[in-house]
C-alpha cells in the first residue's frame, strides 16, 4: 500500500523529465540532424536514466513514510504535508528544468562537472543569472506551474494509504534502498553515449543524474581509466616526442623531461602583455570569414602582427586555456590543474620571467578566488591583481563577472608604468571578462546595445583591445613591448562530434611594431605552443619542462595540437585525431572532417598515450626548477 504514496511523485517526476528531454531534443534538432534511430535511442536511454534517478529522488518520500507514526497516517497533518511535499517536488523539478535550459544555452550540454563547480561559486553564478535573465518572473512562473501540477496530481492521485505498522514500513523503505543500490550498480553516465552524435548523447542524459555523478568524479585517474602502457616505455616515447635538435635532456633519467634550450646570442628582455580573451572564437573574426563586422581591431592587428590562424584551444573552459598558456602541458582528464590540490611551485611561464627579474602579474577584473585562479597564480610566479585590490575610483562599469575590459586594461597600463619607472621589465597575463554572459558593458562604446547578446560582448571586447593598443602607443615602454592576443577557448563546444575541430579553433596574434614583422603562420598549432614560441622570440636560453614547441625555429616535429573535454582527450596529428576516453577506449578520426577512421594507425595511438600518460604525472615531474642556465653567459 505504501508504494501508492510514491505514485503522484513519480508521475510528476517522469512528466517533467520527459517534457524537458523533448524540449531539449527540439533545440538539438535545430543545431544537428538526428536520425529516427538516434531519436529512439535518446528517449529509450533517457527513460532508463530517469528510472535510475527517480529511485533516488523518491527515497525521501519513503523515509517520510517510515518515520510518520501509524496513527498519523492519512490524518489531516499527513494530507497537508503530502500536499506541501508535492508542491515542493513540482517546484524543484520545474526549477531544474529551467536551469538545464539555461545551462544548455551556455554549454550545449546537460548538467556536468561545470555545474558542480558553479555550485561552489554562488556569488558569480547567481549574479550572472540575475543579470542575464528575469529571475523574479521565471520563479513566479515556475511557482504557478508547480501549483497547477500539484492540483492535477491531487485530482488524479488523492492520498489514500492504509495505516501499517513500523516493520512493514521499514521493509518498504529497505526495499527502496535495495532498488537504489541495484540501479546504481547497473547504471553509468556513459550508457547513453552515441559515437555518431554527441548532442544526442547529451539529450539522452539526465541532468540530475549527471550532477550527482560529477560531484564525485571531478578528477579522473589516467592509469585506472585510460589506455596506457608501461611507464618506462611511455617515458622513452615522451622523451622521443619532445626531443629537438640542440635541446639535450639534463639527465639520463627516463622520467625526467627537463631539457636545455640554448639560444644564440643575448636574450631580449622585452616587456610582454599577454591578453587572454574570454570566449573569442575564430568564427567571430572577419579574417576567418565572419561578415558580422564585430572585430575590426583584431582583424587589423592580425595583419600588422604575426597571426596564427590554425591554432586550437586545449579545452572548453577558461582554466584550461590559462593552464595551457602558463604550463604548456596537454590537458589531463578531469579538472584543470589550476583547480587541483598541490598545484603550486610548478614549472610555469611566470617563473621563467621572474627568474630574469621581471615584474610578473596576473591581472583579472573579477574576484580571483573563482576557479582557484588567485591561489594558482600566486603559487606559480605571478603577483595577483584582481578586483579585491582595485579601488572604486578605478571601476567605471562592472557586472557580476568583473570590471569592464577598459577599466582592467587601464589598471594594467598603470602597473606597466610603475614597472617602467622602477627600471624593471614586466610580464602581464591579463584575463578579460566582458565577452561573457550577461554581455553588459559601458554605453556608447559600440553600435550594439549592452545586454543584448553575444555579438555585443564580442564587439565590445574588440573595442577595448583597440583602445588598449592606442593608449599603449603613447607610453615610453611601448616600443619595447610584445603584445599577445589569444582566446582562452571558443564560445561553445556543442555539436555532432564531441571533439569537433570547429569548436576549438581560436586566434592568436603577436603584435610588436618594429620588432615583429607582419606574417601569417598557418601550420597546425596548439595553445601550449605559445610559451616556448614567445621565449624563442625573446631569444631566451633556459631549462624547460614544457611540452609545447617553438613554432618559429624550424625544429618542431610534425605539427600537432591537443583538444579535450572533461573526459575525452585528443591528439591531432598528421590529419588525424586520436581520442582517448574512459574504459581504455581509443577512437580515431579523420581531421578535420571527424569521420571515423580506424586506419589512422598504431603510431598515432602510441603518441597520444605517451603525451597524456606522461602528462598525468605532472605532480611529480612538473615541479619548478631554476630556469637560468648555469653558465650565466646567455644574458645581456
Q: pLDDT by residue (tens digit) across 260-307?
A: 999 999 999 999 999 999 999 999 999 999 999 999 999 999 999 999
Q: Which residues pair with 277 in a beta bridge?
A: 487
Q: Is 471 helix (H, G, I), strand (E, B) or coil?
A: helix
| Burial status of residue 15 (CB atoms within 10 A of its CB: 0-12, 13-18, 19 or more) | middle
What cell does 592 get? Answer: 578535420
Q: How far is it between the farthest Cα atoms of the chain?
A: 91
Three-state secondary structure string covering 150-203: HHHHHHHCCCCCCCCCHHHHHHHHHHHHHHHHHHHHHCCCCCCCCCCCHHHHHH
Q: Give the cell for residue 496.
A: 555532432
Question: Residues in the chain with pLDDT < 70?
Answer: 1-2, 117, 120-121, 216-219, 493-497, 555-557, 631-636
Instruction: Report the alpha-carbon distance of residue 399 to residue 426 in Å, rounded.
Output: 29
The whole-number pLDDT of residue 635 equals 36
Q: Using an 8 Å Cβ cutoff, are 528 and 548 in contact?
A: yes
| Spatial contact of 9 and 86, defined as CB atoms under 8 Å apart | yes
> Where do the structural domains in the chain lie, given as residue ranges?
2-215, 260-555
Report angle CA 433, 435, 439 to the nearest 5 degrees: 105
Helix ranges (DSSP H) in 371-501 = 373-378, 405-421, 454-472
DSSP β-ladder status, 542-544 and 525-526: unpaired
Cβ-proximal residues to 117 (8 Å cutoff; 6+ apart), any chain: 218, 339, 371
Q: Give the span between the Cα atoms of 538 and 512, in whole angstroms.
A: 12
260-555 fold = Alkaline Phosphatase, subunit A (3.40.720)
pLDDT for residue 217: 64
Q: Is the CB of residue 150 less than 8 Å from the CB of residue 83?
A: yes
Say if strands 525-526 and 383-385 run parallel, antiparallel, or are unpaired.
unpaired
What region does 357 belong to: left with phi over 0, alpha with psi -120 to 50, or beta? Answer: left
Of the candidates 373, 327, 333, which has an alpha carbon nearest to the alpha carbon of residue 563? 333
Alpha-carbon torsion angle 96, 100, 101, 103, nearest 10: 140
Count the Cβ atoms, other than its own, within 10 Å of residue 48: 18
Distances in whole angstroms, Cα of residue 213 to Cα of each of 22, 113, 316, 346: 23, 8, 20, 30
Nearest Cα residue to 432 out of 399, 391, 389? 399
Bridge partners of 508? 308, 486
Name beta bridge partners: 399.
402
Which triple of cell numbers denotes residue 74? 492519512
- Write down the pLDDT at residue 459: 98
CA 420/CA 477 separation, integer angstroms: 7
Question: pTM here?
Answer: 0.84
CB 361 within 8 A of CB 427: yes
pLDDT of residue 582: 82
Q: Give the model's pLDDT for residue 636.
A: 36
* Strands laid side by side in the 569-573 sheet: 560-564, 569-573, 576-581, 585-590
Whether the Cβ atoms of residue 427 and residue 272 lie closer than 8 Å to each other: yes
**How far is 487 from 505, CA to CA, in rounded Å?**
9
Give residue 92's pLDDT.
97
* Cβ atoms within 10 Å of 399's Cβ, excluding its own: 24
Q: Give CA–CA dist 530/596, Å, rounded.
A: 30
Q: What was the pLDDT predicted at 634? A: 40
Cα 412 to Cα 417: distance, rounded to the nearest angstrom: 9
DSSP state at residue 34: -
Amino acid at each position: 500500500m505504501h508504494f501508492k504514496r510514491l505514485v503522484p511523485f513519480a508521475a510528476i517526476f517522469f512528466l517533467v523529465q520527459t517534457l524537458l528531454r523533448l524540449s531539449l531534443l527540439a533545440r538539438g534538432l535545430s543545431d544537428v540532424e538526428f536520425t529516427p534511430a538516434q531519436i529512439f535511442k535518446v528517449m529509450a536511454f533517457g527513460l532508463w536514466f530517469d528510472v535510475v534517478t527517480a529511485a533516488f529522488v523518491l527515497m525521501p518520500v519513503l523515509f517520510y513514510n517510515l518515520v510518520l507514526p501509524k496513527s498519523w497516517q492519512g490524518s489531516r497533518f499527513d494530507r497537508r504535508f503530502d500536499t506541501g511535499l508535492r508542491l515542493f517536488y513540482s517546484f524543484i523539478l520545474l526549477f531544474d528544468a529551467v536551469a538545464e535550459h539555461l545551462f544548455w544555452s551556455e554549454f550545449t550540454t546537460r548538467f556536468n562537472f561545470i555545474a558542480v563547480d558553479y555550485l561552489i561559486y554562488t556569488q558569480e553564478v547567481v549574479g550572472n543569472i540575475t543579470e542575464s535573465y528575469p529571475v523574479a518572473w521565471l520563479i513566479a512562473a515556475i511557482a504557478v506551474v508547480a501549483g497547477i501540477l500539484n492540483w492535477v496530481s491531487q485530482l488524479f492521485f488523492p492520498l489514500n494509504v492504509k495505516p501499517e505498522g513500523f516493520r512493514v514500513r521499514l521493509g518498504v523503505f529497505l526495499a527502496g534502498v535495495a532498488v537504489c543500490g541495484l540501479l546504481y550498480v547497473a547504471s553509468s553516465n556513459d550508457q547513453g553515449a552515441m559515437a555518431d552524435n554527441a548532442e544526442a548523447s547529451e539529450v539522452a542524459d539526465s541532468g540530475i543524474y549527471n550532477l550527482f555523478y560529477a560531484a564525485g568524479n571531478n578528477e579522473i585517474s589516467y592509469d585506472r581509466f585510460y589506455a596506457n602502457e608501461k611507464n618506462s616505455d611511455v617515458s622513452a616515447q615522451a622523451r622521443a616526442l619532445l626531443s629537438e635538435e640542440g635541446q639535450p635532456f639534463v639527465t639520463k633519467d627516463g622520467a625526467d623531461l627537463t631539457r636545455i634550450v640554448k639560444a644564440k646570442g643575448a636574450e631580449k628582455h622585452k616587456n610582454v602583455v599577454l591578453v587572454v580573451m574570454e570566449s573569442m572564437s575564430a568564427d567571430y573574426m572577419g579574417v576567418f570569414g565572419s561578415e558580422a563586422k564585430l572585430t575590426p581591431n583584431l582583424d587589423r592587428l592580425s595583419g600588422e602582427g604575426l597571426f596564427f590562424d590554425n591554432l586550437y584551444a586545449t579545452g572548453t573552459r577558461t582554466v584550461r586555456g590559462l593552464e595551457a598558456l602558463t604550463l604548456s602541458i596537454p590537458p589531463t582528464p578531469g579538472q584543470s590543474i589550476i583547480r587541483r590540490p598541490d598545484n603550486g611551485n610548478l614549472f610555469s611561464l611566470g617563473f621563467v620571467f621572474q627568474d630574469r627579474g621581471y615584474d610578473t602579474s596576473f591581472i583579472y577584473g573579477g574576484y580571483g578566488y573563482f576557479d582557484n585562479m588567485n591561489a594558482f597564480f600566486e603559487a606559480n610566479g605571478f603577483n595577483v591583481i584582481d578586483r579585491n585590490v582595485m579601488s572604486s575610483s578605478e571601476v567605471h562599469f562592472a557586472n557580476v563577472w568583473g570590471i569592464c575590459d577598459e577599466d582592467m586594461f587601464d589598471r594594467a597600463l598603470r602597473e606597466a608604468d610603475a614597472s617602467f619607472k622602477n627600471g624593471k621589465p614586466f610580464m602581464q597575463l591579463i584575463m578579460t571578462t566582458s565577452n561573457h554572459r550577461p554581455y553588459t558593458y559601458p554605453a556608447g562604446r559600440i553600435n550594439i546595445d549592452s545586454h543584448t547578446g553575444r555579438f555585443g560582448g564580442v564587439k565590445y571586447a574588440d573595442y577595448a583591445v583597440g583602445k588598449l593598443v592606442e593608449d599603449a602607443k603613447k607610453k615610453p615602454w611601448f616600443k619595447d613591448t610584445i603584445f599577445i592576443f589569444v582566446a582562452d577557448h571558443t564560445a561553445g563546444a556543442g555539436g555532432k562530434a564531441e571533439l569537433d575541430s570547429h569548436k576549438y579553433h581560436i586566434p592568436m596574434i603577436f603584435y610588436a611594431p618594429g620588432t615583429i614583422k607582419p606574417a601569417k603562420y598557418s601550420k597546425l598549432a596548439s595553445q601550449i605552443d605559445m610559451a616556448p614560441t614567445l621565449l624563442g622570440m625573446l631569444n631566451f636560453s633556459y631549462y624547460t619542462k614544457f611540452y609545447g614547441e617553438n613554432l618559429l625555429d624550424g625544429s618542431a616535429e610534425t605539427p600537432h595540437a591537443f583538444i579535450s573535454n572533461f573526459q575525452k582527450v585528443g591528439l591531432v596529428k598528421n590529419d588525424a585525431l586520436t581520442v582517448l576516453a574512459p574504459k581504455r577506449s581509443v577512437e580515431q578520426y579523420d581531421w578535420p572532417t571527424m569521420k571515423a577512421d580506424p586506419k589512422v594507425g598504431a603510431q598515432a595511438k602510441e603518441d597520444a598515450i605517451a603525451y597524456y600518460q606522461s602528462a598525468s604525472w605532472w605532480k611529480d615531474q612538473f615541479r619548478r626548477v631554476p630556469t637560468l642556465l648555469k653558465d650565466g653567459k646567455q644574458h645581456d
